């Protein structure tokens, strides 16, 4: 009898208790040797494989593990190391690997940006003068490790050549074909060695196929996989796509590969599948379990979906799997003992998703009755949450039905507002500031943990936060910054903090996911209707403002970033959730203003990353994002200055939407790709104030004044000095105190030097 098989695409790297993160950081601070790091991470990797084997997964991924980032892994496997790092061919040393990601005293780190529309960051490959070569066959090493140490005949995972090159920088578009010609033989060599070692299937990830591509791009895809199939016919290639319905469906499923992985949780994949069919000679890896969200699957619905799929293909062609790697969800919900049971019962993290995959495959194999108990339990859990008071707040739902009652535009245009703001604040030319967060020392984290555990009183904790705030207000004054921040010492995370304060959110104890490198975040869960409860940031902001005559910015996270960096309920439209959040933030901003805070920063670093992969869906998303931001920020007085902050990624794609936000000041993370962003302003006249991050905070190195001056001068070629603010490219929470103070002093010195020169020019 034909067997319906199960598969996984990738497993979280961090461990149930972030053992991976802790090992990396011990290595970086010198308390763990390289040999100890490799031994500890190997043990973790084997545990992850054993867990998947025990769960009953048929196709277990190997090679999805990484010590930092899988795109960086692909780069070093092919010897793609920027020239500024010392490298003499052969296997890339671990020290060089981490240097590319984190920078060194003498070399800036490679650019880091978002992995498609997720909150995971990858290290952008730099292909200037690249001469790729196979330095080591990483998938082969991981395949042999699993086979020899655990008896697992795994499914090696590798990032595909089309996606890798599309995500890279440092070459002109016309060079794509020649670069592809250099890389494809190396992929063939990897696959040949895997085949010789006994690998049966290999998963080649090409998520770029879910984006808007051209016919020329698809020709490259066909050429590549035709060449691979011809050179290595003895291995089965599963071409894996995810995050969106593929463009050029008919062409993709006709490619000369043995299997196609499709995401059935987004877009209209099912209708394409039904309209155009699926080849009889290929395997369909159906991603029916959402690999990016944390809600329990209604197994009845997914079973029905799979039955529809089986109307078009034979059982032997079907593999049941998640829609994407489980890298994007926490490991297990078993440690969430403090969660409300209605909420916890409706959750499904990575381990629970594996169980759902296996259950569906078993049901299709043995008959629905074999999993009837699991089906009924899933339906009951989902329905209980939908019927709960959490998702039936009458006032919140009424507000969403009557959004036209809420003002969503400022009273005066920017040109008039800025005159009133300048009269109030009296800032110098090229004002200096920071993005918001300041270093959270081990003492800050320890004290917050003691407070959470009840080991110190509320009063003692508040006194500690005030002392930290005062220390840093004084330090900012001494450094010479023009606009100050309170430092956010009371916050663990810029989204989680608000998740703890707003109705409709829940925070987990151990729901960590990787963001970049060893940086893990704990996204809050939006499980119900969102509403304002009580002021969330007023106390800290007012206290900080009382310590200085300089303006102190109130600091909030914007509605779209809270949405995109949370696990969002999936029973209503995402933009409706965004509007609920916006109305709650609106009340907080009004409270800040009412208490004398006249600068309020509403950060939207995740706005760009939320863009759908399909460009046809962009405008609807951007319209909703702009409306949500304006809904939150438009009720303030004309002389209250609204700031926002964003992370850089192809800014030119959304520059009109950014302008439409109508924020008085925007700061943008740009230091690793400064010139590329500034070129956007050569084609678009931006009429509001702007700060382009002048140094990289993701690296521990202190920038040289000459570097910052160069970045400022480059920006001033396009942007008027009357519009320009000078700031780091992102928040400083993860940096150490000494390096932060040193870097800010360099930044202020550079700003003063440029300011003096600009004033001299104006006097001539």
DSSP string, 290-308: -SS--BPP-HHHHHHHHHH
Query: Which two structure tokens, joined as six digits, stand for 485?
Result: 């921040």
Element (H, E) at 724: strand 724-725
What confidence score (pLDDT) does residue 47 get? Answer: 98
Helix, strand, coil % (nearest 5) of the chain?
50, 15, 40
Report whether 683 contacts 652 (CB < 8 A).
yes
d(CA 647, CA 730): 8
Query: Which two structure tokens, joined as six digits, stand for 721?
Result: 């000095």
What one-character DSSP code corresponds to residue 570? Answer: S
What confidence score (pLDDT) does residue 1 get? Answer: 47
Query: Which two structure tokens, joined as six digits, stand for 647?
Result: 């992370």
The region that residue 149 occupies, defined by phi over 0 for left and psi between -120 and 50 for alpha, beta otherwise, is alpha
**HSE (side-chain half, CA atoms, 13 Å) at 286:** 28
What one-character DSSP code corresponds to residue 535? Answer: -
As to burial, measured by CB atoms within 10 angstroms (0-12 exposed, 13-18 middle, 19+ buried), residue 132 is middle
d(CA 695, CA 674): 9
Report whether 741 contacts 735 (CB < 8 A).
no
Q: Hey, which residues are catalytic here? A: 698
What are the φ and ψ backbone dihedral angles of 245, each rounded to 5 degrees? Answer: -65, 135
First to last CA, the chain: 88
**Whole-number Cα distances in Å, 297 to 250, 300, 340, 391, 505:** 29, 9, 19, 18, 20
SS3 213: coil
d(CA 340, CA 356): 22
pLDDT tens sequence across 212-255: 999 999 999 999 999 999 999 999 999 999 999 998 999 999 99
Cα Rg of the chain, angstroms: 26
d(CA 12, CA 325): 8
Report whether 657 contacts 592 (CB < 8 A).
no
Strands of 500-561 (E only): list them.
503-506, 513-516, 519-521, 525-531, 552-557
Report whether 133 contacts 78 (CB < 8 A).
yes
User: Is the Cα torsion angle 393, 394, 397, 403 positive or negative in sign?
Assistant: negative
Query: Which two structure tokens, joined as six digits, stand for 236?
Result: 């089965």
Q: Kindly report the CA angle at 10 between 9 and 16, in degrees rounded to 5?
A: 145
Binding-site sequence positions: 18-21, 114, 435-437, 488, 519-520, 565, 603, 609, 645, 647, 669, 730
Neighbours of 183 (CB within 10 A): 21
Binding-site sequence positions for L-methionine: 435-437, 488, 603
* Bridge partners, 169 (sequence order): 126
As to burial, measured by CB atoms within 10 angstroms (0-12 exposed, 13-18 middle, 19+ buried), residue 131 is exposed
List the strands of the sheet with 525-531, edge to edge: 503-506, 525-531, 567-568
What one-character DSSP code corresponds to residue 435? Answer: -
- 3-state SS of 390-420? HHCCHHHHHHHHCHHHCCCCCCCCHHHHHHH
Report whether 644 contacts 560 (CB < 8 A).
no
Residue (of 39, 2, 722) closest to 313 by Cα position:
2
**Whole-number Cα distances in Å, 342 to 77, 316, 331, 351, 505:** 46, 38, 20, 19, 13
Element (H, E) at 363: helix 350-366
Query: Which two structure tokens, joined as six digits, stand for 372?
Result: 């009837």
Residue (of 32, 10, 46) closest to 120 by Cα position:
10
Report whether 662 contacts 632 (CB < 8 A).
no
Report whether 143 contacts 62 (CB < 8 A).
yes
Query: Which two structure tokens, joined as six digits, stand for 313?
Result: 């293909």
d(CA 142, CA 153): 11
d(CA 477, CA 483): 9
Per-block mean pLDDT, blocks of 10 residues, the chain (764 long): 88 97 97 97 98 98 98 98 91 96 91 90 94 97 98 98 97 95 98 98 98 96 98 98 95 98 95 96 98 97 97 96 98 94 97 98 97 97 96 97 96 97 97 94 92 93 96 97 96 90 95 94 96 97 97 97 96 97 98 98 90 92 97 97 82 84 89 57 81 82 89 87 92 90 95 93 77
DSSP string, 731-743: --TTS-HHHHHHH
The region that residue 650 occupies, defined by phi over 0 for left and psi between -120 and 50 for alpha, beta otherwise, is left
Residue (of 314, 216, 302, 293) closest to 264 by Cα position:
302
Exposure string of 476-511, with b = 16+ CB inside 10 Å and e = fewer, is: beebebbbbbbbbbbbbbbbbbbbebbebbbbbebb
Strands of 50-151 (E only): list them.
61-62, 112-114, 121-123
Provide CB contacts within 8 A for 669, sequence distance 6+.
Answer: 605, 645, 646, 647, 648, 693, 729, 730
Report whether 502 contacts 581 (CB < 8 A).
yes
SS3 235: coil
Exposure string of 408-423, with b = 16+ CB inside 10 Å and e = fewer, is: bebeeebeebbeebee
SS3 318: strand
428-763: what CATH class?
alpha beta
d(CA 257, CA 238): 7
What are the φ and ψ backbone dihedral angles of 140, each rounded to 5 degrees? Answer: -65, -45
Provide CB contacts within 8 A for 230, sequence distance 6+.
Answer: 256
Report whether 689 contacts 669 (CB < 8 A).
no
What confidence score (pLDDT) does residue 646 get? Answer: 87
Task: Find how far residue 510's CA is from the centre of its chain.
Answer: 18
What are the φ and ψ backbone dihedral angles of 505, each rounded to 5 degrees? Answer: -110, 155
Query: Which two structure tokens, joined as six digits, stand for 252?
Result: 């993709």
Report whether 731 contacts 697 (CB < 8 A).
yes
Exposure string of 717-746, with b = 16+ CB inside 10 Å and e = fewer, is: ebbebebbbbbbbbbbbbbeeebbbebbbb
- 3-state SS of 129-184? CCCCCCCCCHHHHHHHHHHHHHCCCCEEEEECHHHHHHHCECCCHHHHHHHHHHHH
């Amino acid at each position: 009898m034909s067997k319906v098989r199960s598969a996984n695409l990738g497993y979280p790297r961090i461990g149930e208790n972030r053992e991976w993160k802790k090992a990396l950081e011990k290595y970086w601070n010198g308390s763990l040797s390289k040999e100890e790091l490799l031994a500890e991470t190997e043990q973790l990797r084997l545990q992850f494989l054993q867990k998947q084997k025990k769960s009953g997964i048929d196709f277990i991924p190997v090679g999805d593990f990484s010590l930092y980032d899988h795109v960086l892994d692909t780069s070093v496997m092919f010897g793609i190391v920027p020239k500024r790092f010392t490298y003499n061919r052969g296997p890339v040393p671990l020290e060089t690997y981490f240097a590319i990601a984190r920078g060194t005293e003498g070399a800036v780190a490679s650019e880091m940006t978002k992995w498609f529309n997720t909150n995971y960051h990858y290290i952008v490959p730099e292909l200037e003068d690249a001469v790729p070569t196979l330095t080591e066959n990483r998938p082969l090493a991981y395949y042999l490790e699993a086979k020899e140490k655990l008896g697992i005949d795994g499914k090696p995972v590798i990032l595909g050549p089309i996606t890798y090159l599309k995500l890279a920088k440092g070459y002109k578009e016309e060079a794509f074909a020649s670069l592809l010609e250099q890389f494809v033989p190396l992929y063939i060599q990897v696959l040949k060695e895997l085949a010789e070692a006994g690998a049966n299937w290999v998963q080649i990830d090409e998520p770029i196929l879910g984006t808007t591509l051209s016919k020329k791009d698809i020709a490259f895809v066909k050429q590549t996989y035709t060449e691979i199939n011809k050179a290595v016919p003895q291995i089965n290639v599963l071409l894996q796509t995810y995050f969106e319905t593929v463009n050029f469906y008919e062409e993709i499923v006709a490619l000369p590969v043995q299997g196609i992985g499709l995401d059935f949780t987004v877009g209209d994949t099912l209708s394409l599948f039904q309209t155009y069919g699926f080849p009889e000679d290929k395997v369909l890896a159906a991603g029916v379990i959402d690999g990016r969200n944390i809600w329990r699957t209604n197994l009845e619905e997914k079973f029905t979906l799979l039955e529809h799929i089986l109307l078009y293909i034979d059982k032997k062609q079907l593999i049941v799997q998640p829609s994407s790697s489980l890298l994007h969800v926490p490991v297990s919900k078993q440690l969430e003992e403090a969660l409300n049971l209605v909420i916890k019962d409706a959750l499904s993290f990575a381990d629970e998703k594996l169980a759902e995959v296996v259950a569906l495959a078993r049901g299709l194999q043995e008959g629905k009755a074999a999993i009837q108990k699991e089906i009924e339990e899933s339906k009951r859990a989902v329905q209980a949450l939908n019927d709960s008071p959490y998702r039936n707040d009458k006032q919140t739902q009424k507000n969403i039905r009557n959004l036209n009652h809420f003002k969503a535009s400022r009273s005066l245009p920017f040109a008039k507002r800025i005159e009133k703001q300048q009269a109030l604040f009296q800032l110098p030319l090229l004002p200096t500031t920071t993005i918001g967060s300041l270093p959270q020392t081990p003492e800050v984290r320890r004290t917050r943990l003691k407070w959470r555990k009840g080991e110190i009183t509320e009063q003692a904790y508040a006194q500690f936060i005030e002392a930290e705030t005062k220390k840093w207000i004084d330090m900012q004054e001494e450094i010479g910054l023009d606009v100050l921040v309170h430092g956010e010492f009371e916050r663990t995370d810029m989204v989680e903090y608000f998740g703890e304060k707003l109705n409709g959110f829940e925070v987990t104890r151990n729901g960590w996911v990787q963001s970049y490198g060893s940086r893990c975040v704990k996204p809050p869960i939006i499980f119900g209707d969102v509403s304002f409860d009580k002021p969330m940031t007023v106390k800290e902001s007012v206290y900080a403002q009382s310590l200085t005559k300089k303006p102190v910015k109130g600091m909030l996270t914007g509605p779209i970033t809270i949405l995109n960096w949370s696990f969002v309920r999936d029973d209503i439209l995402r933009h409706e959730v965004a509007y609920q959040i916006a109305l709650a933030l609106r009340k907080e901003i009004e409270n800040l203003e009412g208490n004398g805070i006249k600068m309020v920063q509403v950060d939207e670093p995740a706005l760009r990353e939320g863009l759908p992969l399909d460009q046809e869906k962009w405008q609807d998303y951007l319209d909703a994002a702009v409306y949500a931001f304006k809904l939150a920020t438009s009720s303030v007085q004309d002389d209250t200055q609204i700031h926002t902050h964003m992370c850089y990624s192809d800014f030119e794609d959304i520059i009109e939407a950014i302008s439409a936000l109508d924020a008085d000041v925007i700061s943008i993370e740009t230091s690793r790709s400064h010139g590329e962003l500034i070129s956007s302003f050569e084609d678009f006249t931006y009429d509001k104030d702007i700060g382009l991050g002048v140094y990289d905070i993701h690296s521990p190195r202190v920038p040289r004044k000459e570097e910052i001056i160069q970045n400022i001068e480059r920006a001033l070629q396009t942007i008027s000095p009357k519009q320009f603010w000078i700031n780091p490219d992102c928040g400083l929470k993860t940096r150490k105190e000494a390096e932060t103070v040193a870097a800010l002093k360099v930044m202020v010195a550079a700003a003063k030097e440029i300011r003096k020169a600009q004033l001299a020019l104006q006097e001539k």
